[in-house]
Amino acid sequence: MPARAVTAPSLLPRLWLALAALIFVSLTLAAHADERVVRVGYQKYGTLVLLKGRGSLEPKLKALGYRVQWSEFPSGPPLMEALNAGAVDFGSAGETPPIFAQAASDALVYVAHEPAAPKGEAILVPKASPIQSVADLRGKKVALNKGSNVHYLLVRAIEAAGLTLADITPVYLAPADARAAFERGAVDAWVIWDPYFAAAEAGGNARVLADGTGLVPNHQFYLSSESFAAENGPALDAIVAAVAEVDAWAKDNTDAVARELSPSVGIPAPILSVALKRQTYGIRPLDAAVAAEQQRIADAFHGLKLVPKAVDIAGAVRKPGS
């Protein structure tokens, strides 16, 4: 049977559809061209990943002409490296990663912080270990993530016990590798933060030798690049406001937060609930006391030659209204 010729009128609907699609794509690209992008770095655990999941930041920034691009990082140190390199505009980390980042570059500013949470990190030993005090760590192998928050906990704990870093053997490992080394007995102790701390406790073979109580504040900081902060003050204010809203909800709904975070973190919700109850909530600007605490940490690391130069915390704090 011969094929029927396609008449010109039958092509018109297809042409109109193609033209409409082209117009839609052009308008979408034009709209995106007018929008500025805020690149937010987050870790698997914490307020920012919760903010991402709830989707409450996007409308706040859209109203200001911004869209959000999210990037996940395994821990604070690589996130701070990305901030220094201009790969992200905003992110959060514990006390120590920003100091290492400041020693490498003057690119970041402290935007805000969460209150101290000293019980959210600890030095762990196996339950059957003969180690009963931090002083017993002399000559032992201690696993930790170099440049992370727990690095300072270890420094302070061994100093308080009359030791120095030279008296132990630090073994620098990321959390997953450190846990494997801890469980097979390749290291004698492990310094770790929540929620990995809570997961190790739940595993049944970990005993807390010391947490941060009386040793370190364990603040969580929110940081931006200096260039982004200087040019995008309203966007930073919107991010802080969105974090504050999530904080206010999470504070009284830790079990619900645990259920939301569990799939992304890969840790059961009941274990996350333990960690979340040790966390603190209530984002706020840095005051002189918090800046001074952070400066003490920076000075300690410089004195130990763990960072190559002295850093100025107060000079890197975002000024009100900027």
User: Which sequence spans correspond to the domains of the chain?
Assistant: 34-115+219-312, 118-211
Average pLDDT, the chain: 90
Report residue 90 as tokens. 């905003």
On whether the CB atoms of residues 125 and 207 are closer than 8 A, the answer is yes
pLDDT value for 19: 52
Condensed to tens digits (0 to 9), the pLDDT of residues 81-137 reads: 999 999 999 999 999 999 999 999 989 999 999 999 999 999 999 999 999 999 999
Mean pLDDT of 10-20: 51
Mean pLDDT of 194-199: 96
d(CA 65, CA 72): 23
On whether the CB atoms of residues 95 and 297 are closer than 8 A, the answer is yes
| Topology match between the domains 34-115+219-312 and 118-211 | yes
On whether the CB atoms of residues 42 and 89 are closer than 8 A, the answer is no
Task: Give the CATH H-level superfamily of domain 118-211.
Answer: Periplasmic binding protein-like II (3.40.190.10)
d(CA 75, CA 85): 16
pLDDT value for 14: 53
pLDDT value for 264: 82
Looking at the DSSP bridge assignments, the partners of residue 105 are none
CATH class of the domain whose range is 34-115+219-312: alpha beta
On whether the CB atoms of residues 101 and 108 are closer than 8 A, the answer is yes
Residues 6 or more apart whose CB falls under 8 angstroms from that of 69 comprise: 37, 38, 39, 40
pLDDT band at 48 (very low <50, low <70, confident <90, very high): very high
Tell me the whole-structure pTM to 2 decimals.
0.84
pLDDT value for 245: 96
Tell me the percentage of the chain whose pLDDT exceeds 70.
89
Mean pLDDT of 220-224: 97
311 Cα distance to chain centroid: 21
Let me know how long the chain is: 322
pLDDT band at 147 (very low <50, low <70, confident <90, very high): confident
pLDDT value for 159: 96
Q: Buried b vs exposed e over 159-189: b needs ≥16 C-beta within 10 Å?
A: eeeebeeeebeebebbbeebbebbeeeebbb
d(CA 159, CA 172): 19
**Residue 24 burial (CB < 10 Å; 0-12/13-18/19+)?**
exposed
pLDDT band at 35 (very low <50, low <70, confident <90, very high): confident
d(CA 60, CA 241): 9
**Residue 19 burial (CB < 10 Å; 0-12/13-18/19+)?**
exposed
pLDDT value for 274: 96
pLDDT band at 34 (very low <50, low <70, confident <90, very high): low
